[in-house]
Structure 1
Amino acid sequence: MKYRKLGRTGLDVSAICLGTMTWGSQNTEAEGHRQMDYAVGEGVNFFDTAELYPTTPASADTVGDTESIIGTWFAGRGKRDDIVLASKVAGGGRAWIDDGANLSAAKVRHACERSLKRLQTDYIDLYQVHWPDRQTYHFRKSWFWKPEDHDRQQTLDVIAEVMGELDALVKEGKVRHVGLSNETAWGTMQYLKLSEQKGFPRIQSIQNEYSLLHRLFDTDLAEVAAHEDVGLLAFSPLAAGLLSGKYRTGEVPEGTRLSMQPDLNGRYQERSKPALEAYLAVADRHGLDPAQMALAFCLSRPFMTAAIIGATSMEQLKTNIGAVDVELDDAVLDDILEIYQRHTVPM
Structure 2
Amino acid sequence: MKYNKLGDSDLLVSEICLGTMTFGKQNTLEDAKEQLDYAVACGVNFLDAAEMYPVPGSADTQGRTEEYIGEWLHQQQRDKIIVATKVAGPSRHFTWIRDGKCQVDRQNITQAVNDSLKRLKTDYIDLYQIHWPDRYTPIFGEWEYDIAKERETIPIVEQLEVFADLIKEGKIRYLGVSNETPYGICEFTHLAQQLNLPKIVSIQNAFSLINRIYSIHLAEACRFHNVSLMAYSPLGFGLLTGKYLNGIPANTRLDLFKGFGMRYDKGNMPLAVKSYVEIAEKFNLTPAQLALAFVRSRWFVTSTIIGATTMAQLKENLDSINVNLSEEILTEINAVHARYPNPTP
Structure 2 length as normaliser, TM-score? 0.95
Q: Which digits, 9 at most, give the CA deviation of each residue in 1:152-196, with x for residues without a partner? A: xx55x5211111110000000000000000110001110101110
Offset of 1:72 from its aligned partner? 0.4
Equivalent residue, structure 2, for 1:13:
13
Counterpart selection for 1:237 from 222, 234, 237: 234
- Does residue 63 (structure 1) correspond to residue 62 (structure 2)? The answer is yes
CA contact (8 A) 1:103 1:158 kept: no
Counterpart of 2:47 in structure 1 is 47
Q: CA deviation at 1:86?
A: 0.2
Aligned to 1:130: 131
Aligned equivalents of 1:2 and 1:271: distance in 2? 34
Over 6 Å off, 4+ runs: none
Offset, 1:258: 4.1
Q: Of residues 298, 302, 311 in structure 2, which corresponds to 1:301?
A: 298
Residues of 1 paired with 2:216 and 2:248: CA distance?
A: 35
Moved more, 177-186 or 220-229: 220-229
Deviation string, structure 1 residues 235-264 (Cα, Å, up to 9, x no partner): 111001111122223242224344313461
2:264 counterpart SS class: coil
SS of 2:263 mapped into structure 1: coil
SS of equivalent residue, structure 1 residue 266: helix
Is the counterpart of residue 82 in structure 1 residue 80 in structure 2?
Answer: yes
Q: 1:158 to 1:16 in 2, by over 3 A?
A: same
Given residue 4 of structure 1, which amino acid in structure 2 is its aligned partner?
A: N
Counterpart check, 1:261 vs 2:262 = no
- Find the aligned partners of 1:268 and 1:259 in 2 and give their Cα distance: 16
Contact 1:123 1:173 in 2 (8 A): yes
The match for 1:99 is 99
Does the C-alpha gap of structure 1 residues 149 and 22 become closer, same or farther in structure 2, counting only changes over 3 Å?
closer
Distance 2:258 2:297 in 1: 30
Contact 1:207 1:233 (C-alpha < 8 Å) held by counterparts: yes
Q: 1:74 to 1:233 in 2, by over 3 A?
A: same
TM-score when normalising by structure 1: 0.95
Q: Distance in 1 between matches of 2:252 and 2:187?
A: 41
Unmatched 5+ residue regions in structure 1? Answer: none
* Mapping 1:1-347, distance limit 5 Å: 1-55=1-55, 57-75=56-74, 77-93=75-91, 94-101=94-101, 102-142=103-143, 144-146=144-146, 150=150, 155=153, 157-262=154-259, 264-347=261-344
Q: Which secondary structure does the structure 1 equivalent of 2:155 belong to?
A: helix
Query: Whole-Å Cα distance in 2 between the matches of residues 189 and 225 of structure 1?
Result: 8
- Structure 1's 246 and 149: CA in aligned 2 closer, same or farther, altered over 3 A? closer
Cα deviation, residue 309, structure 1: 0.3
Cα 1:238–1:126 change in 2 (3 A) is same
Count of equivalent residues: 341
The alignment partner of 1:340 has SS state of: helix
What residue ranges of structure 2 are gaps of 5+ in the alignment? none
1:70 to partner: Cα distance: 0.4
In 1, Cα distance between the equivalents of 2:136 and 2:159? 17
Q: For the Cα contact (< 8 Å) 2:180–2:205, is it kept in 1? A: yes
Q: Deviations along 1:263-308, whole A, 9 cap, x unmatched?
A: 6132134431111111111111111111011011001111101110
Q: In the alignment, residue 117 of structure 1 is paired with which amino acid?
A: K
Deviation for aligned residue 1:79:
2.5
- State how far apart, in whole Å, the 1-side matches of 2:182 and 2:29 are: 37
Q: Which moved more, 1:129-138 or 1:314-323?
A: 129-138
TM-superposed deviation, 1:345:
2.4
Distance apart, 1:147 and its partner CA: 5.2
Opposite residue 22 of structure 2, the aligned amino acid is T
Q: Distance in 2 between matches of 1:257 and 1:169?
A: 39
Q: In 2, are the aligned partners of 1:263 and 1:269 still within 8 Å (CA)?
A: no
